[in-house]
Amino acid sequence: MTKQLNEFFKPEDIAYTYTSNQAVEDGLLFDLDQVRKYLPKNPFKYATANLMSSYFDETKTGSTVNIPNVIDLIMGALMIYCRKPADDYFCSGQIELPTGKKQKIFIAQNETGAYTIMLPEDY
């Protein structure tokens, strides 16, 4: 006889949660709302900072998001997302980074109901 997961872990047993907003504040996630006005409508709320490091232009005065490259990221992720079954909360596929290198990404639903785009090592 197998036990259900909720028989082992009950909501009242949770000692700590870490929200996506906290991860943004800590610099682990990039809030895509910062560039939303440049993007087509999409289900993505966050991308990991590790993935986004490929999408910044570094200059002497700091770094800025390269909007055309981020749009490419979103469009590539959207093509992967649209192939997933409707009832699935996770999918993966390959995109092309700004360097031209192919990169596997994971897309997972977060606690906001939207999705986070990440590198496999960020999962």
Helix (H, G, I), strand (E, B) or coil at 113: coil
Query: Over 80: is that where the pLDDT of 49 sits?
Result: yes
Hunting for tokens 């289900």 — which residue is that? 43
Query: pLDDT band at 38, cuts 50/70/90?
Result: confident
What are the tens digits of pLDDT across the range 50-87?
999 999 876 656 678 888 999 999 999 999 999 999 99
Query: pLDDT band at 117, cuts 50/70/90?
Result: very high
Instruction: Please state whether the predicted TM-score (pTM) of the whole model is above 0.85.
Output: no
Per DSSP, which regions of the chain are E strands? 29-31, 44-48, 56-59, 62-65, 90-96, 102-109, 115-118
Hunting for tokens 């409508």 — which residue is that? 41
* Residue 96, phi-psi category: left (phi > 0), alpha (psi -120 to 50), beta (remainder): beta
Query: pLDDT band at 10, cuts 50/70/90?
Result: low
Nearest to 52 by CA among 36, 37, 67: 67
